[in-house]
Amino acid sequence: MPPPRCAVEPAPPRDAADGRQEREETMTRQWAAGPRRMAAGVAIALLGLAAPAPVGAQGSGGAGGPGALPGGPGASRPAEETRPAAPSPFAQTRLLGDLGGLRTRLLDRGVDLRLGYIGEFGGNVTGERTGAGYAGQIAFSADIDWGKLADVTGFSTHFAIVNRQGNNLSRFAMRDNYMQSAEIYGAGFNMGLHLVAFYARQKLLDDRIDVAVGRMPVALDFAASPFGCFPIGLQGCGNPRALSNNAQFTSWPQSTWGGRVRVTSSAETYVQLGAYESKPFPGGGRTGWSWDTGTATGVIVPVEFAWEPAFGAEKLPGHYKVGFAYDSSDFDSLYRNASGGPLLLAGQTPAVTSGRRQFWVVADQMLLRHGPGPDTGLTLVGHYGNSTGGNSITWRTAWGGLYDKGFWRSRPNDAVMLTVGWWGVSHQLGDLQLQQQALGLPLANGAAHPQHNEYAIELDYIMPVHPGVTIEPAVQYFIHPNADARLKNAFVFAGRLTIDF
């Protein structure tokens, strides 16, 4: 599967701030229950890993996949396409190695099983109040290549489930319901086994045409950036957050019924078109196993064009994508009531707006090569997303930075990344909040003060310490938490542990 692995639960509008205490008590109970759920998830996933038969599978070798960091330079196409044809050197890439040759034998027969863990930790030393938090994910996946297993040329199936635990440091400590310090938190609902994806792919005409259909996130293939999830924070993880923060444009670990067709027009270019059911958050329900279509409100149609050049004698790789999506659903207006006036009071019926339009640009370009690896060098990365301001709380987002891997000769697999993110609240929602404030009314979206923009700066050091094990210390600085200029800025010390079993 492609990069997206992160999802945030959109913060629904709230009528009063006194719900915060209740949410914090709920998070405390979830924190206490988290280790039990995590242990259950590990046991179940280990049983699945030990099974000799090809039991369903997943297709993510990158972010979103079990435990793995984003799979490298430009997995702008699904990560299973970027893997080497030969069996992976499991002794060098997995904590448990090749399991006596079992993994290699399965891979030779077209079965790739993976189990991974991601734990993200953080503590803020400034902000509205100080605190510490943890968010974790256990993921099991498998890809089955039916060409190898049963001589069905070009056909594969992909399956992924996760167990998520923990709490939201940003929400309970920094009063931030907008950005998140830990990208792995959210949309898993502390379920023991949450379905992420179950879909089939068929390649045709020497792989020039690629069709995928099933239960899958929209962001699995569209607006995907492998570099976005290297940082621990959510600011740019997986895709421009102006798209996936607005619910129906689903990202890991949500999914809906859908499919896409990708046509490779040259060695450097492709175009893809998709159609997915549009459903209110969360896609697939709280468990991910809700597959009914009765709650669908419309259809999302995304289209994307991509150019993947390699420049100069050193073949410096770049990946450039531009896309557009239209959601045919009706959405509540953020500003107007049913009578056409401002939506000042919580009890008023909002006006209905027809459709949501989203636009994105995603790019990365290696500037300087340090070695032969596809991402071994200094790479400039970034993306931008825009969603209809009248019905999208997260209106516009921009994210970018520098990723440098292999700069230290004695540790060629270490990497450092510096990023800056900006999220803008809908201008119509901000205008409404200003009017409510002037009238002494509670503010929409549960805000304490009018919301405008939030910024985040993050510095990460990614350090493999053992086959299959990576640690990542980071520092984060959040400016205007909750897009509220009157809340205290927050400085966070964070860390990530990644294990690919």
Residue 56, pLDDT above cutoff 50? no
Tokens of 450: 């009018």
Please indicate, yes or no, if residue 5 is contained in any of the structural domains: no
68-92: average pLDDT:
44
First to last CA, the chain: 18
Are 72 and 374 contacting, i.e. CB atoms less than 8 angstroms apart?
yes
Please indicate, yes or no, if residue 4 is contained in any of the structural domains: no
- Domain holding 92, by residue range, is 19-500
Peptide bond into 10 cis (omega under 30): no
Position with higher pLDDT, 283 vs 467: 467
d(Cα 277, Cα 291) in Å, to the nearest integer?
A: 11
Residue 49, pLDDT above cutoff 90? no
Our count of domains for the chain comes to 1
Please indicate, yes or no, if residue 13 is contained in any of the structural domains: no
pLDDT at 5: 46
Residue 94, pLDDT above cutoff 90? yes
pLDDT at 373: 86
271-294: average pLDDT:
89
pLDDT at 22: 39
pLDDT at 150: 96
**Average model confidence (pLDDT) for the chain?**
84
- pLDDT grade, residue 15 (50/70/90)? very low
pLDDT at 248: 85
Q: Write out pLDDT tens, residues 406-433.
A: 999 999 999 999 999 999 999 999 999 9
Please indicate, yes or no, if residue 65 is contained in any of the structural domains: yes
Tokens of 68: 């793995």
151-169: average pLDDT:
94
> Which residues pair with residue 113 across a beta bridge?
142
pLDDT at 283: 82
Please indicate, yes or no, if residue 235 is contained in any of the structural domains: yes
Q: Which of 57-71, 220-234, 273-287, 430-444 has the lowest mean pLDDT?
A: 57-71
374-386: average pLDDT:
96
Q: Which of 140, 294, 164, 155 is nearest to 214 (CA)?
A: 155
pLDDT at 190: 76
Q: Write out pLDDT tens, residues 456-495.
A: 999 999 999 999 999 999 999 999 999 999 999 999 999 9
What b/e readout covers 381-408, taking b as 16+ CB neighbours within 10 angstroms?
Answer: bbbbbbbbbbbbbbbbbbbbbebbbbbe
Q: How far from chain centre, in Å, is Cα 40? A: 24
Please indicate, yes or no, if residue 261 is contained in any of the structural domains: yes
- pLDDT grade, residue 35 (50/70/90)? very low
85-111: average pLDDT:
85
- pLDDT grade, residue 77 (50/70/90)? very low
pLDDT at 48: 34
Stretch (H or E) spanning 23: helix 19-50
Residue 265, pLDDT above cutoff 70? yes
Place of tokens 């790479």: 379
- Measured from the Cβ of residue 431, the count of other Cβ atoms closer than 10 Å reads 14
Residue 127, pLDDT above cutoff 60? yes
Q: Which of 179, 185, 284 is nearest to 241 (CA)?
A: 179
pLDDT at 186: 77
Residue 389, pLDDT above cutoff 70? yes
Residue 47, pLDDT above cutoff 50? no
Residue 340, pLDDT above cutoff 50? yes
d(Cα 339, Cα 247) in Å, to the nearest integer?
A: 26
Q: Which amino acid is at 476?
A: Q
Residue 446 sits in a domain whose CATH number is 2.40.160.180
pLDDT at 60: 27
- Measured from the Cβ of residue 466, the count of other Cβ atoms closer than 10 Å reads 9
Tokens of 258: 């859908």
Tokens of 329: 């659903």
pLDDT at 51: 33
Please indicate, yes or no, if residue 163 is contained in any of the structural domains: yes
Express as a percent the part of the chain with pLDDT over 70: 82
CA within 13 Å, CB half, 210 = 16
Q: Write out pLDDT tens, residues 161-217.
A: 999 999 889 988 899 999 999 998 877 777 788 999 999 999 999 999 999 999 999
pLDDT at 88: 56
Place of tokens 């440091």: 169
Please indicate, yes or no, if residue 7 is contained in any of the structural domains: no
